[in-house]
């Protein structure tokens, strides 16, 4: 009888053991994703507080950009809660990361000044972000990053959805090119954009919006957490209705120690969002992806600090 009771409880003990192991693994994976050079707050830091609060008045700096006068900033309500859907199969794991960015005026939202003689317009924003990550478990039972997709950020429930068709980065001096044309493409770490400190990169974006035109901006220099890197945002030059480009000088990111991981984003906003009046709505699409800056011969950085 005693042996029968032990056998009855054995499946329960095994189930509890498996459950605890699964929960432990999920916690370890989430900790890694929230501290990694390649993930953490990188995409959010590209999207939030994009510049100082826009101010009216004629700029003292003569702009040579093709973009009309506009000053804008996003302020996103915090904290931003990330949702992790973790599926573990043996020594590998697939993770879907979701989050939602909200901003409701007057304290939060999208703030834009598109005429020095007009006030700052405030627009409510509601964006969602989706990123997928693959991981593997090493011989020391540590979870490691295998590959990741872009962080795909888009406005919810808009009548004017914005589409990014392609982002291309080209370094002519060494005939190096990186292309992403699908938000679901996975990139291993050594397949992410890799630049040298003296590289000059030509960035090209192909994009569009339903029933509207767009303008593309490039964010770069941001680290995975505050205190690392500094945020630079520049408008791209319009080449055609759907194509934008601009030169990116890696040295301007002021990366003093290599190898380093920073975060970039291509941020496409609707024309009416930027240049419309007080009644215009906010709509955008952004693809954010980490990039690596290293000297020739250096190794790609590890997963985390």
Rg, C-alpha atoms of the chain: 22
Q: What per-residue confidence (pLDDT) applies to 40?
A: 78
CB 197 within 8 Å of CB 295: yes
Residue 33: strand pairing partners: none
What is the rounded distance in angstroms from the CA atom of residue 277 to the CA atom of residue 299?
50
List the chain domain ranges. 2-293
Q: How many Cβ atoms from other residues are within 10 Å of residue 46's Cβ?
A: 27
Q: What per-residue confidence (pLDDT) applies to 245?
A: 96
Q: Which residue has the tokens 């303008």?
A: 215
Q: How many Cβ atoms from other residues are within 10 Å of residue 218's Cβ?
A: 23
49 Ramachandran zone, left/alpha/beta (phi>0; psi -120 to 50)? left
Q: Please give the backbone phi and psi of residue 11, each rounded to the nearest 5 degrees, phi first.
A: -60, -35
List the pLDDT tens digit at each of the 305 positions of the chain: 444 444 455 555 444 444 548 788 999 999 999 999 999 786 777 676 544 445 444 443 434 457 899 999 999 999 999 999 999 999 999 999 999 999 999 999 999 999 999 999 999 999 999 999 999 999 999 999 999 999 999 999 999 999 999 999 999 999 999 999 999 999 999 999 999 999 999 999 999 999 999 999 999 998 888 778 888 999 999 999 999 999 999 999 999 999 999 999 999 999 999 999 999 999 999 999 999 999 999 999 999 76
Which one, of 222, 225, 176, lies nearest residue 196 by Cα?
176
| DSSP label of 190 | G
Q: What per-residue confidence (pLDDT) applies to 57?
A: 43
Torsion of CA 275, 277, 278, 281, to 10 degrees: -60
Q: What per-residue confidence (pLDDT) applies to 49?
A: 56
Q: How many Cβ atoms from other residues are within 10 Å of residue 288's Cβ?
A: 23
DSSP 16-73: HHHHHHHHHHHHHHHHHHHHBTTSTTHHHHHHSS-SSPP--S--SS----SSPS-EEE
């Amino acid at each position: 009888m005693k042996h029968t009771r032990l056998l009855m409880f054995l499946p329960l003990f095994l189930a509890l053991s498996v459950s605890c192991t699964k929960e432990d693994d999920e916690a370890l994976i989430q900790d890694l994703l929230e501290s990694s050079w390649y993930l953490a707050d990188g995409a959010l830091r590209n999207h939030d507080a994009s510049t100082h609060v826009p101010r009216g008045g004629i700029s003292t700096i003569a702009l040579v950009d093709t973009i009309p006068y506009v000053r804008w900033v996003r302020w996103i309500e915090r904290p931003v809660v990330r949702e992790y859907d973790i599926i573990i199969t043996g020594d590998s794991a697939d993770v879907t990361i979701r989050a939602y960015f909200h901003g409701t005026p007057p304290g939060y939202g999208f703030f834009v000044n598109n005429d020095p003689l007009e006030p700052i317009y405030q627009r409510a924003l509601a964006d969602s972000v989706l990123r997928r990550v693959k991981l593997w478990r090493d011989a020391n039972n540590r979870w490691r990053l295998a590959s990741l997709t872009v962080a795909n950020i888009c406005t919810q429930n808009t009548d004017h959805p914005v589409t990014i068709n392609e982002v291309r980065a080209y370094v002519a001096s060494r005939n190096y090119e990186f292309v992403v044309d699908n938000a679901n493409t996975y990139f291993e770490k050594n397949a992410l954009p890799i630049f040298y400190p003296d590289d000059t990169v030509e960035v090209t974006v192909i994009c569009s919006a339903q029933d509207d035109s767009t303008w593309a901006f490039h964010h770069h220099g941001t680290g995975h957490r505050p205190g690392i890197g500094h945020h630079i945002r520049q408008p791209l030059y319009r080449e055609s209705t759907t194509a934008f480009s601009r030169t990116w000088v890696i040295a301007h990111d002021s990366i003093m120690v290599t190898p380093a991981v920073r975060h970039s984003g291509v941020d496409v906003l609707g024309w009416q969002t930027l240049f419309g009046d007080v009644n215009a709505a906010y709509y955008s699409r952004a693809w954010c992806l980490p990039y690596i800056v290293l000297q020739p011969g250096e190794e790609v950085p590890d997963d985390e600090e």
